[in-house]
């Protein structure tokens, strides 16, 4: 039950974040995120690509077996990347949301792995 709630939170966050990166529908957040990407030496195309990766992770998280684990690991990876760039170019405070999603993604991935491993043995 707890993993379902954590997965739901991750999905909601990353569906929201990825939709803004891909579609740019929420102007204020879109501009702020694009400013971060440009500061990091990245462009709009890479921002959209990151959005697609986040979207894949948010959807795959709900798939059974290895795909669910992959979804959690993809979200963990994008969170780790965000933390790296925030620590490198910004302040640690800018990375707090990514630190939270990294922690939640790690918990979900670990749990999904344990469930899968238990079902195999």
**CA dist 86 → 71, 74, 97, 98 (Å):** 23, 18, 11, 9
- Between the CA of residue 111 and those of 2, 15, 16, 68, 118, what are the distances in Å? 10, 21, 24, 11, 11
Q: Supply the pTM of this predicted model.
A: 0.93
Residue 32: what pLDDT? 95
Averaged pLDDT, groups of 10, the chain, 121 residues long: 94 98 96 96 97 98 94 98 96 96 98 87 68
Cα–Cα distances in angstroms (integers) from residue 1 to residues 5, 10, 23, 24, in the given order = 6, 14, 32, 33
User: What distance, in Å, lies between the first and last C-alpha atoms of the chain?
Assistant: 23
**pLDDT given at position 85:** 97
Q: Please report the pLDDT score of residue 120 as a whole number.
A: 80
């Amino acid at each position: 039950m707890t993993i379902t709630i954590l997965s739901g939170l991750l999905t909601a966050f990353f569906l929201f974040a990825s939709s803004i990166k891909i579609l740019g529908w929420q102007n204020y957040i879109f501009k702020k995120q694009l400013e971060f990407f440009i500061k990091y030496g990245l462009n709009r195309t890479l921002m959209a690509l990151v959005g697609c990766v986040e979207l894949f992770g948010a959807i795959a998280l709900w798939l059974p077996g290895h795909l669910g684990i992959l979804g959690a690991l993809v979200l963990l990876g994008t969170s780790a990347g965000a933390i790296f760039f925030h620590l490198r170019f910004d302040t640690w405070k800018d990375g707090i949301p990514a630190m939270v999603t990294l922690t939640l993604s790690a918990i979900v991935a670990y749990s999904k792995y344990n469930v899968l491993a238990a079902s195999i043995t």
